[in-house]
RNA sequence: UGGGGUGUGGUGUAACUGGCAACACAGCAGAUUCUGGUUCUGUCGUUAGGGGUUCGAUUCCUCUCACCCCAACCA
């Protein structure tokens, strides 16, 4: 099993402690986990935590981790999901020891079902769904035993074989485990093991018309594969006694696996309901499962979230049994930390405002002089080297970087003030032009020729350094800015429907951006830092389209917020 | 209703199983800085509630409260 070793391996949690104890006391002599998705949808950030947990725990104990598809419901599953899940796990950076399918165990599961029938521990029930549900009791009502509960083993066997042979219609009968209709745990009130379904299965085709339920397939699959520690989410805790009961009835090829439950990952401003996510896609609120606003792994990837940042985040938050919701800001801080170290710096002007250097020289032919400056690709990493950026007398700066009448603590360009154009010169604002509506259309400034490279020989300081592009050398680009898809921290908390908290303006597309020429060479999918703005992912199919991964930390924004 | 699970700063996670409640994110203040970024320093603030055992309780006992899950022929 190959997994990256960037995650902390010295952390402790209730699962790791359990495993240590199992090892120490000789209950197991190896560790095997599995990640068991149903191939009926796309993986999202919540799944990343489960994947991280299963793979990292196995790695910490020198064990193995399988990828097993729990494909026991032909109605909802599809190969495209199998392929998507495999690709997403690989992207996340994990390599399963083996990729397996519960459907490969259908024969074994069937044999074991017959064994239970012969032992008098399972029976065929011919009642309909509604009746069975009513008889299960609950909400203060006692369970009622099915009239078919005490059939002979021979009769059950005959019926079950004919179920498999396709003699009965869908829903006509089911195989049930014979446990205890008065059990206080509802899961043990004669649970369904098999139902008749004529859907086409993505792997077994039409070979089967009966399909095992989750409970009858899951633990047995774990056991067949040799799973030692079966980790799942909290809502399965009441299934654990059933998990154990089934395994106790069967001759297993390995030691018995045990199930442990931990809390799912939830994030603020994020909704991970598969059905509702599908609704977002279907209604066109987002552009697809890989829309950069989606919490899917495909979406996060397109947005520019590094897989390593997602892994680090998952490892950091650890596993616990408390239902909780992590702040999306924490994930974002992991993304920034990773990108700060790795992303190449570039200059990009998102909302251009013309800046004219009025004392800029012309050459012998009367054309403005063009100079080239060498700037660092990443000040955090000298090995990333430098690049050349063209500079001349006509530039674009960010509209936000000039104010004719600035509020307190505004450090940027304003009439009379000197600032630095990053890597180039110190310039002083001498005036500005406006249109009929008073909008600033052009800023005028003079440069100090003695400050070439950006520092003054007399050592004077400026309060602000600003990014810029040369009007004649910059190239156009489209930049998509994203807000949170859901405005509420807990989508749906107020009304019960997450869709009520949807921000229908969560994407702003800027088409007039001017960016430095080097950005045209950015590989598809790569994330760069637009200096002073944020991290942006070059789209993987549309050249010169950039998605904002996450903004830089912005103290000025905080100041403005406080100023109201 | 029955059963199961969980409660620690604004948020999330820890605390050698009885011994100074810590780490991160967020916030605030300062230093550094050719990114209002980064980095560094400081600061803020926590054991759901009552009772009990104990020299000492987040930890043990007890009662109460709150929240989550199960009661599909989904997983």
Is the separation of the CB atoms in A124 and A154 below 8 Å?
Answer: no
Shared domain for A399 and A533, answered yes or no, is yes
The backbone torsions φ and ψ at residue A417, rounded to the nearest 5 degrees and listed phi first, read -95, 145
Helix (H) / strand (E) element for A111: namely helix A106-118
Shared domain for A291 and A336, answered yes or no, is yes
Mean pLDDT, rounded, for A440-457: 96
Query: Whole-angstrom Cα distance, residue A208 to residue A479?
Result: 51
- Our count of domains for chain A comes to 2
| Residue matched to tokens 């259309």 | A441
Shared domain for A300 and A361, answered yes or no, is no
Half-sphere exposure (Cβ direction) of A108: Cα atoms closer than 13 Å: 19
Shared domain for A555 and A517, answered yes or no, is yes
A27 CA, B15 C1': Å apart: 28
Mean pLDDT, rounded, for A300-328: 96
Q: What angle do CA A264, A268, A274 make, to 5 degrees?
A: 55
Exposed (0-12), middle (13-18) or buried (19+): which is A18, by Cβ within 10 Å?
middle
DSSP reduced 3-state for A255: coil
Shared domain for A63 and A53, answered yes or no, is yes
Does residue A132 lie in a domain region?
A: no
State percent of chain A over pLDDT 70: 98
Confidence of residue A5 (pLDDT cuts 50, 70, 90): very low
The pLDDT of residue A561 is 87
Does residue A435 lie in a domain region?
A: yes
Q: Is the pLDDT of residue A1 over 50?
A: no
Query: Whole-angstrom Cα distance, residue A485 to residue A293?
Result: 6
The pLDDT of residue A6 is 35
The pLDDT of residue A199 is 93
Query: Whole-angstrom Cα distance, residue A406 to residue A563?
Result: 13
Nucleotide B72's nearest residue (CA vs C1') is: A133
Confidence of residue A10 (pLDDT cuts 50, 70, 90): low
Please report the ipTM that was assigned to this predicted complex. 0.95
Q: Which residues in A173-323 belong to E strands, given as ranges?
A: 174-177, 192-196, 210-212, 229-233, 258-262
Q: Looking only at Cα atoms, what is the longest distance across chain A?
A: 107
Does residue A194 lie in a domain region?
A: no
The pLDDT of residue A509 is 98
Shared domain for A382 and A519, answered yes or no, is yes
A116 CA, B40 C1': Å apart: 67
For A477-510, letters b (16+ CB in 10 Å) and e give bbbbbbebbbebeebbeeeeebeebbbeebbeee
Residue where a domain stops, chosen among A307, A327, A342: A342
Contacts of A152-158 with CB under 8 Å at 24 or more apart are A153/A117, A153/A118, A153/A119, A153/A120, A155/A124, A156/A117, A156/A122, A156/A123, A156/A124, A157/A114, A157/A117, A157/A118
Q: Which nucleotide in the DNA or RNA is closest to residue A102, CA to C1'?
A: B75
| Residue matched to tokens 């995650």 | A7
For position A464, which CATH number holds? 2.40.240.10
Protein-contacted bases of chain B (C-beta within 7 A): 1-8, 10-15, 17, 24-28, 34-39, 67-75
Query: Whole-angstrom Cα distance, residue A291 to residue A281?
Result: 9
Residue where a domain stops, chosen among A322, A342, A362: A342
Does residue A128 lie in a domain region?
A: no
Which residue range is the domain that position A526 belongs to? 344-563
The pLDDT of residue A329 is 97
Does residue A243 lie in a domain region?
A: no
Shared domain for A402 and A446, answered yes or no, is yes
Rounded to the nearest angstrom, the gap between the alpha carbon of residue A417 and the centroid of all alpha carbons in its chain is 45
The pLDDT of residue A225 is 98
Query: Whole-angstrom Cα distance, residue A200 to residue A208?
Result: 9
Confidence of residue A9 (pLDDT cuts 50, 70, 90): very low
- Min mean pLDDT across A22-26, A178-182, A240-244 is at A22-26
The pLDDT of residue A496 is 87
For position A337, which CATH number holds? 3.40.50.620
Whole-number CA gyration radius for chain A: 31
Closest CA to A194 of A132, A260, A251, A109: A109
Q: Which nucleotide in the DNA or RNA is closest to residue A213, CA to C1'?
A: B73
Mean pLDDT, rounded, for A196-202: 96
Shared domain for A352 and A375, answered yes or no, is yes
Residues 6+ positions from A142 with CB-CB distance below 8 Å: A182
- A38 an active-site residue? yes
A316 CA, B58 C1': Å apart: 22
How do residues A394-448 score in pLDDT, each as one tens digit? Answer: 999 999 999 999 999 999 999 999 999 999 999 999 999 999 999 999 999 999 9
| Residue matched to tokens 């077994």 | A204
A248 CA, B15 C1': Å apart: 38
Mean pLDDT, rounded, for A122-143: 95
The pLDDT of residue A444 is 98
Does residue A71 lie in a domain region?
A: yes
Is the separation of the CB atoms in A427 and A447 below 8 Å?
Answer: yes
Does residue A249 lie in a domain region?
A: no
Shared domain for A388 and A498, answered yes or no, is yes
Q: Is the pLDDT of residue A543 over 60?
A: yes
Query: Whole-angstrom Cα distance, residue A51 to residue A69?
Result: 13
Mean pLDDT, rounded, for A104-119: 98
Shared domain for A360 and A435, answered yes or no, is yes
The pLDDT of residue A11 is 64
- Mean pLDDT estimate for chain A: 95
Q: Which nucleotide in the DNA or RNA is closest to residue A239, CA to C1'?
A: B70
Q: Which of A197, A203, A274, A452 is catalytic?
A: A274
The pLDDT of residue A140 is 86
Q: Which of A38, A287, A483, A489 is catalytic?
A: A38
Shared domain for A390 and A511, answered yes or no, is yes
The pLDDT of residue A12 is 82
Is the separation of the CB atoms in A554 and A509 below 8 Å?
Answer: no
Half-sphere exposure (Cβ direction) of A497: Cα atoms closer than 13 Å: 5
How do residues A139-173 score in pLDDT, each as one tens digit? Answer: 989 999 999 999 999 999 999 999 999 999 999 99
| Residue matched to tokens 């993986």 | A43
Residues 6+ positions from A494 with CB-CB distance below 8 Å: A488, A500, A501
Shared domain for A355 and A403, answered yes or no, is yes
Residue where a domain stops, chosen among A277, A307, A342: A342
Does residue A165 lie in a domain region?
A: no
């Amino acid at each position: 099993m190959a997994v990256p070793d960037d995650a902390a391996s010295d952390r402790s949690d209730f699962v790791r402690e359990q495993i240590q104890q199992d090892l120490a006391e000789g209950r197991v002599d190896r560790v095997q986990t599995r990640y068991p998705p149903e191939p009926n949808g796309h993986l999202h950030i919540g799944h990343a935590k489960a994947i991280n947990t299963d793979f990292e725990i196995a790695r910490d104990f020198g064990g193995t981790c399988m990828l097993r598809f729990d494909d026991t419901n032909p109605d909802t599953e599809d190969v495209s999901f199998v392929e998507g899940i495999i690709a997403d796990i690989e992207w996340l950076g994990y390599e399963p020891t083996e990729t397996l399918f519960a459907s490969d165990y259908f024969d074994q599961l069937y044999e074991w079902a017959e064994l239970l029938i012969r032992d008098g521990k399972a029976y065929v029930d011919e009642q309909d769904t509604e009746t069975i549900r009513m008889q299960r009791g609950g909400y203060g009502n006692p369970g009622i035993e099915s009239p078919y509960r005490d059939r002979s083993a021979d009769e059950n066997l005959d019926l079950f074989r004919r179920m498999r042979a396709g003699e009965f219609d869908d829903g006509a009968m089911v195989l049930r485990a014979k446990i205890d209709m008065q059990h206080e745990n509802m899961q043990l009130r004669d649970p369904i093991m098999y139902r008749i379904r004529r859907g086409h299965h993505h792997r077994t085709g039409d070979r089967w018309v009966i399909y095992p339920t989750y409970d009858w397939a899951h633990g047995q699959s774990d056991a067949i594969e040799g799973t030692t520690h079966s980790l799942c989410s909290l809502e399965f805790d009441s299934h654990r006694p059933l998990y154990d009961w089934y395994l106790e009835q069967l001759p297993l090829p390995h030691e018995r696996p045990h199930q442990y439950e931990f809390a799912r990952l939830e994030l603020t401003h994020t909704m991970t309901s598969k059905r509702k996510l599908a609704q977002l896609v279907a209604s066109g609120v987002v552009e697809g499962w890989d829309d950069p606003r989606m919490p899917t792994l495909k979406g996060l990837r397109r947005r520019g979230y590094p897989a390593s940042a997602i892994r680090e985040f998952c490892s950091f938050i650890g596993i616990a049994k408390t239902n909780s919701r992590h702040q999306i800001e924490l994930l974002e801080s992991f993304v920034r930390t990773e990108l700060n170290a790795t992303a190449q710096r570039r200059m990009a002007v998102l909302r251009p405002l013309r800046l004219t250097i009025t004392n800029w020289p012309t050459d012998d032919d009367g054309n403005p002089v063009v100079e080239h400056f060498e700037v660092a690709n990443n000040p955090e990493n000298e090995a990333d080297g430098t690049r050349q950026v063209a500079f001349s007398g006509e530039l674009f700066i960010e509209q936000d970087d000039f104010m004719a009448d600035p509020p307190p603590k505004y450090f940027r360009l304003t009439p009379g003030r000197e600032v630095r154009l990053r890597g180039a010169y110190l310039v002083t604002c001498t005036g500005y032009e406006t249109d009929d509506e008073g909008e600033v259309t052009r800023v005028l400034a003079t440069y100090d020729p003695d400050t070439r490279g950006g520092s003054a020989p007399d050592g004077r300081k400026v309060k602000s350094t600003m990014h810029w592009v040369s009007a004649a050398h910059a190239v156009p680009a489209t930049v998509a800015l994203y807000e949170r898809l859901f405005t509420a921290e807990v989508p749906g908390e107020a009304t019960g429907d997450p869709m009520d908290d949807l921000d229908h303006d969560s994407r702003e597309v800027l088409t007039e951006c001017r960016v430095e020429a080097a950005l045209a060479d950015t590989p598809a999918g790569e994330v760069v830092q637009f200096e002073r703005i944020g991290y942006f992912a070059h789209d993987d199919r549309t050249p010169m389209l950039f998605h904002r991964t996450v903004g830089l930390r912005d103290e000025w924004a905080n100041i403005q917020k406080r100023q109201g």
